[in-house]
Structure 1
């Protein structure tokens, strides 16, 4: 075979310059993206896929997330009520002074409750509670009793109406039923206060100036809160503060991910550097290996930001572990470089290693391509990051390292390679050749009981890990306020606003009928603020039939109760003169005080080309005991769907976990086909067998350890296939390569496996359960793959003297 020509100096500098330009462009683009607002995506919901069949339900999830995302809630608690209120005032003032918040509310501004009654007064004859309806359908005595109770009842709520406008208290009763206060909080001294046991807690609510998921907002908020708490600790050492809000969870997730990136990145880089120095004894090769890897990671980062615009935390942490896989290609080239027995030709060296790297790249891309197909935004990003990174690393090994390694090595690790060759020969004699099928049968016998013990766990919390301290504080706030549910709700749809309101009312009636363990302890709906036109018309008709049907008798009843003639006449006349047009959603939305409840109305929606309207109904208490009843109610009312994002994602996890078995089988078949084309059918089967056994042994290990499988274990097996198959490929290609030193090849394989274990294995130490599952599966699968890789070696290797 003719030796490939070396490059001319012009070609060498041209290729080097091209790679330098690529590195500069990618690096400058990444710097540019991080110089402005941070491209890191810390919104945990953004990691999740769209899980609802109805896109309106997804809109509802987003609406609630946005409504709550810019709010933070603080609870200032002390055993002394006066000190708790004073501490809350000081804390709120400190937060306001910091400038980190758009608004801070510790003391409620004076609010004229008559504004609420003012909205409903013109429509009062269409507003009746269920109790008042029952009273009206009774006899005249019942109506008289209701009037007397109204006159002599000393207890009047904050939404009390004037006797002249509401003699029987129908409007006042209806206003009292509005879900304005669905919590344990009381209004004291213009502050929202909760008394629990012997402690008093005061609520301080803030809104953010920017997005809770922006790093600048997070830093400003945490700094302001820390300073306010330090000041409060000096003046009120007995006061405790609990906090909750999306900004705190987002900052916690970002900080944890950055710590893990540093830990995994630094530990992997140091470990890989020490291994490469020990094996190659060349700082130059170490530097070039990291140049290739750095190019891969920088280009991967640039491509991912260019394609997606944002970078998920999951991708960032996973990207730090890509170092181990990206460096594999350069290691294989260095092995050829150091194993060269004649004059070194860099171009020929690249040509000789290209088949092995090409097959290895193809198997890896297959595993990541399957990740890209899964509809999880984070997994799509990971796939994009990895594909761009390893493709760049592959290209740099073939077209950059050769122009940087023009001169041959000064010395080679002959002794190390010789020992490695002897170890390989003994290990191959033990598990390879005619013993291959015996080894496979023994592993199968051992694995079957483990497979039978396998269980699964598809909980959504496998994806995210919330800071336990923040969760404890959130629970403290929830318990004080008395609100149990914000994650499960109903979406009510209809072709018109009227149909949505009617269906929401039907849903509310069924929720009210639940009792015992199935009770929901109340609910919030726009239909409570704006009854349907039909219900308003029915109320008006009922009043016309049972109260205003005999104006003379009604007038006499009012006069007998002590009403003046002109007051009684004016009120009776107001029924006839009142506007028969019903209260509408638009009237309610226009009222400033409706702002805290506007998320209950989704408005016009368009799903699958079908236009309509939608609203949200939120039950206050959802438990495992009543969730089945709530789902049954949703199915019983037309246009109603029960939305539980966590359960939907968990269900999707389970579905894709099952599907991943099919994907894995198809991927194995494709890899087998690829290797059979390359190595003949018999050689393809032998080369695929190690990674197939590695997948089986990994599954069995999880079964024996009683570790439930989840989607991320199964997806990691795809990468075990893509990465683990490389080791048998490298060995077989070494056997087929002219003048190859098998000891050097085996050294390179072991070093590649070690670097991959260092990087991906570090993921097992991640606090994020998804990455922990990923890392543990990859580490075990890759370890078994490299140990069984010699099975794929041909019985005899071709040698060229």
Structure 2
């Protein structure tokens, strides 16, 4: 609706109010609808991070590992009495199962015929040789008969046989048994006792209880059910066995902790900033009505922003929610500027003229704020894009409500004004402007540059992602306890092997494994996990079969004599020799292995069919057991030297991207400052544009110097917060200069409004500095310091004569 045709009749006023009520109802009902179903809150920390791997298959590997581990929770029941630990674990498992919060609970393993493992490999046994057996056969050449005899005698008279022992008639030389013994089935420090997974550390016995969730670990419904069930089960356990302790690990516990902390911060920041803003506005305006209208405008912006963000992104990240609570201080700024004009107006108040008088200042302020948030939207981080969408929607709605809704609600003039307060503010402004404004402004600029320069030289950066993600220390301690007892593999850093076919992938994984085995000393990885340890490549199986054909079965008569001399019956010796010719010549395949139940704990090692850059292929994961700063460069070099192999380190990739975008943000900030300068110059001309931009430019410089002097390393979130310092801090200089340009404006009222706007913004964004989320804390500290300096230097933007045109 054009301000030139503003409705004057009561009917028209009610139409405007009704339209805004309808908008609010639609937004509120949509939010209620979304929160009444599955929670739209996103508590997955990985959702905050961008896709960092240039190879999309590597990103798929990261997601697959996260999903494979995300739906599992682990409970470790420990006691110095082994029987108590086992009994307590059974009680815990039974209680958890009865709760209905889990899809499955495993405290006692079901009976398993370990012979099924041997049964899978027996038909393919002539293509399954360990590296030691392969080397022994390769180097036996001229001494074949003697070597085979020695191997046969050792096999017959070896008293030590493992659980995967094979029958002499099927495997007389023990090659299959050696292969089975080398299978990495023991992926942990756990032993099987009484059908339970048990670890012994010193005089402590620990029993593992594994569960799978009924849904996503990041759904609040699942989190509440799991936490309730775990609490009840642990209470029941401690009542029966006070000496038993329980440690737990799983994504669901971290997600619930993050959700709870964020909700607490939303309430703290929202309530504290709202109460502080309310008290300030009551003190300045002395009008509960204006207070309610200001919060009504802000509430409209926030609820519409919530609805739009959920509609656009589907999910609402907790980071966005916490940041949204701090938007109160910025959104209320527009209302404050309107109220200042309203209170300074005569009895014959004209709502149309009031809105028209603040429109230029609010339009420039809106443009600068939108510019700052738009730059956030360009950042590759999903949560930052959400924050930008939320903030841009919120401040646009708040601006529109000031332009159209508030005039419809304030059609009558003010009953009382704050002339005394405004007069004092005018005196304060005049004195402060004389001290830093006019011709002295350049001296202020030079002085600040001289003071800040050493701080700029001391600036350092630290882009480590771990510094920006804070986890509950109690949960970390429990997870470490579980890891120490179980000895699980590293899952954060691994290799991804790709190829056009399955066999190519397996061959490349075998080549990678050989190179990893060759690493020694500090560069050693202490072993690795790969699907090739369960399914060799077709070429490897064929080579093993050919090796046996050359060195064992080339002379059937001599082989038969060796077997008979060792005591084998004729029929058994003949049957085994004949089995080589009749054995399965087709190689064991990945699909055949995956079809077995016992392969499930290792299935994440096979990514299967993938689509990379439009080309279909296959991929697998190779996981080193030990990755340290000492061997990291060797692992990266090994991957680079092996065709089709990439080394994936999600945390390092994100940290690297943080650094790249932190550097880029300096360019963005410079470009944004130039755009703001051009924007204000179109209204205030060259000198006026420079004077209006100087305060926020100096605010950015002082903030950076403060970080340098404090030896606080910069990260991406500090730099992105400077964008908002630019977007929000520029408003104060604009408000003051517009007040000087506006005929009949009370500069005391304008300065009061500027200080109140800054105070409300500091109350809201400043509260972010107290956040437990390091990323938000970086935002809050940077914004607080930058905005404080920007408002103190805002009088520099005033014309020399206080009230004159630019």
TM (normalized to structure 2)?
A: 0.98
Q: After the TM superposition, which residues 263-342 of structure 1 pair with which residues of structure 2 at under 5 Å, given as runs?
A: 263-341=268-346
The aligned residue for residue 661 of structure 1 is: 666
Contact 1:739–1:799 (CA under 8 A) maintained in structure 2: no
**Distance (whole Å) between structure 2 residues aligned to residue 646 and residue 171 of structure 1:** 41
Residue 455 of structure 2 corresponds to residue 454 of structure 1: no
For residues 512-591 of structure 1, what are the structure 2 equivalents within 5 Å? 512-591=517-596
Contact kept? 1:352, 1:737, Cα under 8 Å = yes
Q: Equivalent residue of 1:611, what SS?
A: strand
* Aligned residues of 2:30 and 2:307 also touching (Cα < 8 A): yes
Kindly state the Cα deviation for residue 722 of structure 1 after the two structures are TM-superposed: 0.1
Q: CA deviation at 1:520?
A: 1.3
CA offset digits 1:35-59 (Å, max 9, x no partner): 0000000111111000000000000
Superposed displacement of residue 146, structure 1: 1.4
In structure 2, distance between residues paired with 1:788 and 1:123: 81
Match of 2:696 among 683, 691, 706: 691
**More deviation, 83-92/3-12:** 3-12
> Counterparts of 1:135 and 1:81 in 2: how far apart (Å)?
44
CA distance in 1, matches of 2:425, 2:17: 34
Is the partner of 1:780 in helix, strand or coil?
helix
Q: Distance in 2 between matches of 1:561 and 1:277?
A: 102
Query: Paired residue for 1:607?
Result: 612
Distance apart, 1:142 and its partner CA? 2.3
Q: Which residue of 1 aligns with 2:405?
A: 400
- Other structure's SS at 1:400 match: helix
Aligned partners of 1:177, 1:699: CA distance in 2, in Å?
58
Is the contact between residue 504 and residue 617 of structure 1 (CA under 8 Å) also seen in structure 2? yes
By how many angstroms is 1:341 displaced? Answer: 3.3
Deviations 1:53-90 (A, max 9, x none): 00000000011011111000111000111111111111
1:238-274 deviation line (CA, Å, top 9, x unaligned): 1111100010010000000000000000000000000
Closer/same/farther in 2, CA of residues 690 and 107 from structure 1, 3 Å limit: same
Cα distance in 2, alignment partners of residues 434 and 387 from structure 1: 37
Question: Is the partner of 2:218 in helix, strand or coil?
Answer: coil
Match of 1:64 in 2: 65
Cα pair 1:3 1:348 within 8 Å, conserved: no
User: Contact 2:347–2:413 (CA<8 Å) still a contact in 1?
Assistant: no
Which residue is 1:13 aligned to? 14
Following superposition, the deviation at residue 220 of structure 1 comes to: 0.3
Range with bigger deviation, 509-518 or 390-399: 509-518
1:624 aligns to 2:629 (yes or no): yes
Structure 1 unpaired stretches of 5+:
none
SS in structure 2 opposite 1:108?
A: coil
In structure 1, distance between residues paired with 2:167 and 2:552: 19
Partner of 2:792: 787
1:443 match: 448
- 1:243 partner SS: strand
User: In structure 2, the residue corresponding to 1:661 is in which secondary structure?
Assistant: helix
* Residue 644 of structure 2 is aligned to residue 643 of structure 1: no
Could you tell me how far apart the structure 2 residues matched to 1:656 and 1:144 are? 67
Q: Give the counterpart of 1:213 among 214, 218, 241.
A: 218
Tell me what 2:29 maps to. 28
- Where does residue 95 of structure 2 map in the other structure? 94
> What SS does the corresponding residue of 1:612 show, helix, strand or coil?
strand
Look up the match of 1:176.
181
Residue 201 of structure 1: aligned partner: 206
Provide the C-alpha distance between the structure 1 equivalents of 2:570 and 2:7, rounded to a whole number of angstroms. Answer: 114
CA distance in structure 2 between the partners assigned to 1:787 and 1:153 by the alignment: 87
The residue that corresponds to 1:135 in the other structure is 136
Query: Whole-Å Cα distance in 1 between the matches of residues 706 and 307 of structure 2?
Result: 38
CA distance in structure 2 between the partners assigned to 1:713 and 1:25 by the alignment:
36
Instruction: Tell me the distance in 1 between the aligned counterparts of 2:701 and 2:348.
Output: 44
* Secondary structure of residue in 2 paired with 1:621: coil
Cα gap change, 1:289 to 1:735, in 2 (>3 Å): same
Instruction: Give the Å deviation of 1:620.
Output: 1.2
Q: Which residue of 1 aligns with 2:46?
A: 45
Q: Secondary structure at the match of 2:793?
A: helix
Instruction: Give 1:135 shift.
Output: 1.7
Aligned partners of 2:238, 2:646: CA distance in 1, in Å? 48
1:353-379 deviation line (CA, Å, top 9, x unaligned): 000000000000000000001110000
Q: Shift in Å at residue 277 of structure 1?
A: 0.4
What is the CA–CA distance in structure 2 between the aligned matches of 1:5 and 1:590, rounded to whole Å?
73
CA contact (8 A) 1:484 1:622 kept: no
Q: Which is further off, 134-143 or 477-486?
A: 134-143
Secondary structure at the aligned position of 1:164 is classed as coil
User: Aligned partners of 1:419, 1:605: CA distance in 2, in Å?
Assistant: 71
Quote the Cα distance in structure 1 between the aligned partners of 2:647 and 2:136. Answer: 34
C-alpha contact 1:691 1:785 (8 A) present in aligned 2: yes
Alpha-carbon offset, residue 177 of structure 1 = 1.0
Taking structure 1 as the reference length, what is the TM-score of the superposition? 0.99
Cα distance in structure 1, aligned partners of 2:4 and 2:670: 42
Q: Quote the residue 2:739 is aligned against.
A: 734
Question: How far apart, CA to CA, are the structure 1 residues paired with 2:369 and 2:747?
Answer: 23
Q: Deviations over 1:578-618 (max 9, x none)?
A: 12111111111111211111111111111111211111111
- For 2:418, the equivalent position in structure 1 comes to 413
Deviations 1:292-350 (A, max 9, x none): 00000000000000000000010010000000000000000000000113521111100
Q: How many residues align?
A: 799
Query: Structure 1 residue 182: deviation in Å?
Result: 2.0
The unaligned stretches of length 5 or more in structure 2 are: none
8 A contact 1:698–1:777 mirrored in 2? yes
Other structure's SS at 1:765 match = coil
Q: CA shift at 1:464, angstroms?
A: 2.0
Cα separation, partners in 2 of 1:133 and 1:366, compared to 1, 3 Å:
same
CA contact (8 A) 1:4 1:345 kept: no
1:766 aligns to 2:771 (yes or no): yes
Q: Say what the alpha-carbon RMSD is for the aligned residues.
A: 1.2
Say whether the 8 Å CA contact 1:41–1:213 is kept in structure 2.
Answer: yes
**In structure 2, which of residues 734, 752, 761 is the aligned counterpart of residue 756 of structure 1?**
761
Aligned to 2:78: 77
Q: Is residue 348 of structure 1 aligned with residue 353 of structure 2?
A: yes
Confirm or deny: 8 A CA contact 1:451 1:700 kept in the other structure: yes
Query: Distance in 1 between the 2:31 and 2:614 partners?
Result: 39
Moved more, 624-633 or 133-142: 133-142
- The offset of 1:797, in angstroms, is 4.5
1:750 CA drift (Å): 0.2
Write the deviation string for residues 547-587 of structure 1: whole angstroms up to 9, x where unpaired.
11111111111111111111111000000111211111111
Contact 2:324 2:391 in 1 (8 A): yes
CA distance in 2, matches of 1:778, 1:112: 64
In the alignment, the residues of structure 1 paired with residue 74 and residue 160 of structure 2 have an alpha-carbon distance, to the nearest angstrom, of 32
